[in-house]
Amino acid sequence: MQLIPIRKKYVYERLKREDREDGRVYIVDTAPLPSVTNVLSDTKDKSHLDAWAARVGEAEADRIKNEAATVGTHMHNVVERLLLNRDLPAPRTWLAVKGYRMGYQLIEHFFPSVQEVWGAEIPLYYPKRYAGTSDCVGVYKNNESIIDFKQTNKMKRREWIEDYFVQLAAYAAAHNEVHGTKIRQGVIMMVAQDGQVQEFTTCGREFDGYIDKWWRRVDAFEKAKKALVDQPPELITAKGGETP
């Protein structure tokens, strides 16, 4: 029995990605499209993050975020390379060891319920609106799904992770539009640094609701960008920034 049931069902385009001053974009037919993560970041309420940083101190907050990002990168590398049948280099730091362990835990716990993997690290775009990279697309527990892998410092409550579901909805809308699918399930496979795992699934009408929320975020993002472009010239400095 194959460990990871890979099925190359769709042809996914390679998209050029650029990190610019105003956020990440993907180049589709020569046009820059904002990334899903950029849209979410620019339209989210960050007051709770600011309050947390003020409570623990800016330096400590940066340390925690940077370590979590490093561990998450290594965890994703493990899962991605296993899914794509690529060699995995030996870890060289303790943060890498932690990330590798979490990646293997995620595979061991969740992937017995994965019937098909259509691809990993999949570039997706909705024509003329946005683009992004989905961790995984395939069939989970008999339902076509957008799947995302998350690492966390501690267990999460469902009400804390709405943006994760909105992110999955964004990828589903793009996949459905370009590839003619009808994906209505999103799955978060989460592993904590202490080894605990969590699964969060949204589907059906609830998932449709997250797609509606995503489009409202896109509209808000586009309106904000348009308002910035439409500012009167006297408000723009020679360097392109706003005057005080």
Secondary structure class of 237 (helix, strand, coil): coil
For position 102, what pLDDT does the model report? 95
- pLDDT for res 234: 58
Q: Are 25 and 38 in contact (CB under 8 A)?
A: yes
**Residues 188/181, Cβ–Cβ less than 8 Å:** no
Q: What is the pLDDT of residues 166-225, one digit of tens each?
A: 999 999 999 999 999 999 999 999 999 888 999 999 999 999 999 999 999 999 999 998
**Rounded mean pLDDT of 66-88?**
89
Residue 148's pLDDT band, with cuts at 50, 70 and 90, is very high
pLDDT at 240 exceeding the cut of 80:
no
At residue 235, the pLDDT reads 54
Instruction: Return mean pLDDT, the chain.
Output: 90
pLDDT band at residue 1 using 50, 70 and 90 as cut-offs? very low
For residue 61, the model assigns a pLDDT of 82
Is residue 29 left, alpha or beta, with left meaning phi > 0 and alpha meaning psi from -120 to 50?
left
The pLDDT tens digits for 116-139 are: 999 999 999 999 999 999 999 999
Of the chain, the percentage scoring pLDDT greater than 70 comes to 93
What pLDDT is recorded for position 100? 95
CB 48 within 8 A of CB 37: no
Query: Over the stretch 4-35, which tens digit does the pLDDT of each residue have?
Result: 788 889 999 999 999 998 889 999 999 999 99
Say what the pLDDT of residue 82 is.
Answer: 87
Phi, psi of 69 (to 5 degrees): -65, -40
At residue 239, the pLDDT reads: 45
The secondary structure element, H or E, covering residue 225 is helix 204-229
- Model confidence band, residue 2 (pLDDT cutoffs 50, 70, 90): low
**Predicted pLDDT at 232:** 64
Q: Is the pLDDT of residue 244 over 50?
A: no
The whole-number pLDDT of residue 85 equals 80
Residue 35 DSSP code? B
- Rounded to whole angstroms, the Cα distance separating 221 from 212 reads 14
Chain-centre distance for alpha carbon 126: 15
